[in-house]
Structure formats: C-alpha cells, structure tokens
Amino acid sequence: MKLTIAPMTRDPIVTKARPGYTLPVFACAAAIAALRRIHQNSSILSVLVNLVEPSKVVEIPIEQNAKLRADAALAITRSDPGDNLDLTRDTPIWVLVESVPDQAEAIALEGGEGIGRQVNQNDKPAIYAYARRLLHENLSQALKPGEKIRVTIILPEGRALAERTSNAAFGVVEGLSLLGTSGISQPLSAPEQLDAYRETLRQKAKYDCLAFCVGENGLDLAKQMGVKGDRLLKTANWLGPMLVEAGLQGIQNVLLFGYHGKLMKLAGGIFHTHHQVADGRQEIFAAHAANQGLPMADVQLIFSSPTAEAALQHLRHLDSTTGSQWVEQVYGAIAQQIDQRSHHYIQIHSERQVQVGSVLFDRDRQIIIQSKIGSTFLTQVC
C-alpha cells in the first residue's frame, strides 16, 4: 500500500478548521525518537510516524531528547490536537525506551506517571488497541535484529488533567487514556465536522430507524449488542443539530444510545453535551429523584455527588439494602423525559415528527434503563 508523507504544518492564512493528531501519535513519535537516540548519539528534531489508520506517514516534531545511558534514552513531544476543544493541547508526552535483552517480547509497553489505570481490567495501563498497534508497527521496523525494548509512556500532567474528564466514570483512574481508532484528530467542535456528520446521516436516511451514539464507548457497546453497523451514527456532542437533521431528512425513528452522564443532559433541555458548553447533570438527576418521591436527604446527596456515576451508585445501594426500585423509577423518568424533550426539540426546529427512544448505560457498559420506545427501537436496529 502506497503511503503519503505529510509534514505537520500550520498555515496562518487558512481559516478552515485544522485537524491534528491523537495522543497515541505523539507517544509513538517520542518512542521512535528515544529508540533512535539509543542507536545514534545525536539530537533528533523530528521523526516520521506511520499512522496506520489512515495509511499515511506524518512528520512529528521532537521537543527534547537525551541519552540517559548506553541502553536508555528519553524523548519528549507535545500534543497538538488541531482546532479541537481538547484539554490535552500542548501537554508534554515523555517516553523512556530501555534495552531489556532478557524479556520475553520484543516490545513491552508500560504506563508511567499520568497514564491511567483500568480498574476493571486488573489495573492494566489505559493504552488501548490502536495505540498498541501504532507503537508496535512503527517500533518493530526500527529495532535491530534480536533487540528487545521496554517502552514507558509518561504524561507529567496526566493525573491533573484526568480530574477534568469523565475517565473515572469508565473505570480509568489516576491519569489519561491513550485512546482512539485513528491517528487523525478531527475538529469535532468545528462546523466542518458537524457538516461531515450531517452528510453521513443523509447517506443513511434510507433507513427508518438510526442509532445515535455520542462517542466511542457507545459505538463499541452498540456493536457488541448486535446493532447493525449501517444503522449506527456517531454524533459527538452535536446531538441537537443531528436530531434536527434527522427530522429534515425524513427519518422516522431515532434511538439515542449513550452514557447516562451525557444523555441525561437532554432531559434538562441541554442539546449540546460538551462539558465546556453546558452542564447540569446533578440538578437534572436530583430533580427527577425528588419528583419520584426520593427522601430529601438522599436527594441532597445526589445533588452534591461529584459525578452522575456516584449518584447512580447511591441509588443502587438504596435498592440493595432496602428492596426499593429507585434506579428503575428515577432512570425510567429521566429516559422518558429524554424521549419527550428530543421529540419536541425536533418538532420545533424542523417541523417534523420523529419518534425518539433512549438506552442509557453505566461506566461498566451495563445497560441501566431502556425507555419503552427505546426498547422497541433497539430490536429494529439489531
């Protein structure tokens, strides 16, 4: 397969939203530079990285690199996600590469400070499939015959940045994830990306029912549950505009499939779900709990919970200790409100009638609730 080489440049004249690269790409670049520094004791200003997905070679600048000893070197890159609302912008990525002749595998990947731990996966470092493939494919070509290395990825600011994410809700603690399925970081917050999502929706408008997923976790779980790939559509945080587009395109039914901490915002009339745009999860959660008759002390605890996941766990504790059904009652009301508000939102902005159902899951990717309509739609798209 022919590869193209694209240098990492920024044209100050171009006003179109600029894509960047995902965090695994910069980790890989630093690893390549550190390995090269072991092989040759000279400073490295940039390296070429094969993104694998897509099949493209890009040039990534190296901020610093140093040989620590004959068999170890450190290199540093800095994240550039393009024109995105991305908290990792300009964060440094350190990678330590060491020769380890007696280890079993040729390339061993480790998560250092700032790389999250997957608490549901025996504390494995949060280095996911694409990042591992990217590192293995690029580094294996640079190894000398019989050479074996240990690669430790460090995000000095990762632990602090993780506190501003929902990583803990998905079982990743004490740092960030090397997540993604592609090396290109598209500007999801830019109008051009919304246009691309709309175009994808138009191509799928032949179906009478589509499943909208905010992010990768929803897409992955939906596929595992048997939802057909051609019925799935990623919306990122553009749920409002995408629901309206569904109405304009004459789609009859939409299934909203997502993490409860995201989708419950719709029950409060928040149709752009990025945390930097609007929030209100605790308020929405507490209001529905109170409306269902939850005792005031418990409502206050939900209102003061640091995350929607923590509030869910409190309801589950009440159910397990008292025999109540607060999870089903409260989330049933939230799901019904999501359906009704979404239907009304589409009707107002497109003057079309679209039925909306919802399926909400938790951080362990377990389904919490399916609205009555959502349950029906789920069978249609599977």
Number of CB atoms found within 10 A of residue 341's CB:
17
Q: Does residue 333 register a pLDDT over 70?
A: yes
- Tell me how far apart the alpha carbons of residues 344 and 297 are, in angstroms, rounded to a whole number: 33
Q: How far is CA 251 from the centre of its chain?
A: 27
Is the Cβ–Cβ distance between 218 and 259 less than 8 Å?
yes
Domains belonging to the chain, first-starting first, are: 15-185 (3.30.2110.10), 191-381 (no CATH)
pLDDT at 186: 67
> Does the pLDDT at position 179 exceed 70?
yes
Is pLDDT at 1 greater than 90 in this prediction? no
60 phi and psi, to 5 degrees?
Answer: -115, 125
Residue in the structure block whose two tokens are 């003057």: 351
Q: What is the pLDDT of residues 149-164, one digit of tens each?
A: 999 999 999 999 988 7
Give the least confident one: 11-15, 107-111, 209-213: 11-15
Q: Give Cβ neighbours of residue 115 (< 8 Å, ≥ 6 apart).
A: 125, 126, 127, 153, 154, 155, 158, 175, 176, 177, 178
Q: Within 125-190, where are the H helices?
A: 129-140, 158-162
pLDDT of residue 188: 54
Mean pLDDT of the chain: 90
Residue 72 predicted with pLDDT over 90 = yes
- Start-to-end Cα distance in the chain: 34
Model confidence band, residue 8 (pLDDT cutoffs 50, 70, 90): very low
> And the tokens for 265?
């915002």
Of the pLDDT bands very low, low, confident and very high (cuts 50, 70, 90), residue 341 is very high
The pairing of beta strand 72-78 with beta strand 117-118: unpaired
Among 10-24, 232-246, 356-370, the least confident range: 10-24
Residue among 97, 107, 108, 106 at smallest CA distance from 146: 106
Residue 10 above 50 pLDDT?
no
Confidence of residue 35 (pLDDT cuts 50, 70, 90): very high
pLDDT for res 248:
95
Q: Identify the weakest region by mean pLDDT among 125-139, 158-172, 230-244, 287-301.
A: 158-172
What percentage of the chain carries pLDDT values higher than 70? 92
H helix intervals, the chain: 23-39, 129-140, 158-162, 191-203, 216-224, 239-248, 260-267, 281-291, 296-303, 308-322, 326-350, 372-381
CA 142/CA 28 separation, integer angstroms: 12
Q: What pLDDT is attached to residue 9?
A: 45
Give 380 or 11, the one with higher predicted confidence: 380
* Residue 200 clears pLDDT 80, i.e. is over it: yes
Average pLDDT over residues 276-288: 89
| pLDDT one-digit tens code per residue, 163-178 | 877 777 677 899 999 9
